Chains A and B, each alone.
Chain A
Amino acid sequence: GAGVSQSPSNKVTEKGKDVELRCDPISGHTALYWYRQSLGQGLEFLIYFQGNSAPDKSGLPSDRFSAERTGGSVSTLTIQRTQQEDSAVYLCASSMGGGQYFGPGTRLTVT
């Protein structure tokens, strides 16, 4: 079956612009996670959605970052007023309890 998909695969933006990154989880998965991976580094948790519960936003690095999940499925991560330090690969994962399955990521470059 289809895995987690993310779009765009690559995004280049100018400092100060807003960007939106999209995640389509595996059908039926109730949990959705966003992580960030800087070059050569491990994954850093950003935000987590579980069903209709309030999201766990504890990993968001600043108020420039926000995310929503519509209809319990697709999620959008928004970064406002992008900074060069926001450059990274943004990874989305989904889960049906237990294992988290990752998408291919969106590589964001802020120039």
Chain B
Amino acid sequence: QQQVKQSPQSLIVQKGGIPIINCAYENTAFDYFPWYQQFPGKGPALLIAIRPDVSEKKEGRFTISFNKSAKQFSLHIMDSQPGDSATYFCAAGLNMGRRALTFGSGTRLQVQP
């Protein structure tokens, strides 16, 4: 019940495309859903996060869509650039992220020039 399932495992898009990464969770007590970006050899960097009372949140080119009834959320990257090539992780947490996060398995994104 603590699992977060992430798909796809890898994704290749052309520059300017809109990659979409999907996550699904089971535990309805989760109340905080962040996305992290990780470059090789670096720690994960917090990109954007959403709470379940909101259906969509945008920050720059990154958008989270949240479907509470389906227990799913997704990350969209608008106008993707080669510099966006990284591994993306979704996560879910309790108590507004103050407790330990449960992470998805990651999506390796490659944006081709």
Residues of A within 8 A of B (CB): 4, 31, 33, 35, 40-45, 48, 50, 56, 58-59, 91, 93, 95, 97-105
Contact = CB atoms under 8 A, between A and B. Distances in A.
Given A42-B89, A99-B34, A33 B106 contact: no
Given A42-B106, A99-B34, A99-B49, A56 B42 contact: no
Interface of B: 6, 32, 34, 36, 41-46, 49, 89, 91, 96-106
Given A41-B105, A41-B106, A42-B105, A102 B44 contact: yes
B10 to A, nearest CB: 11
Given A42-B89, A95-B97, A95-B98, A4 B43 contact: yes
Contact of B101 (A40, A43, A103, A104): A43
Contact of B46 (A33, A44, A101): A101
Contacts of B96: 97-98
From B32, B43, B89, B105, residue with most partner A Cβ within 10 Å: B43
6 contacts: A4-B43, A43-B89, A97-B97, A98-B96, A99-B46, A105-B42
Contact of A104 (B32, B42, B102): B42
B89 to A, nearest CB: 6
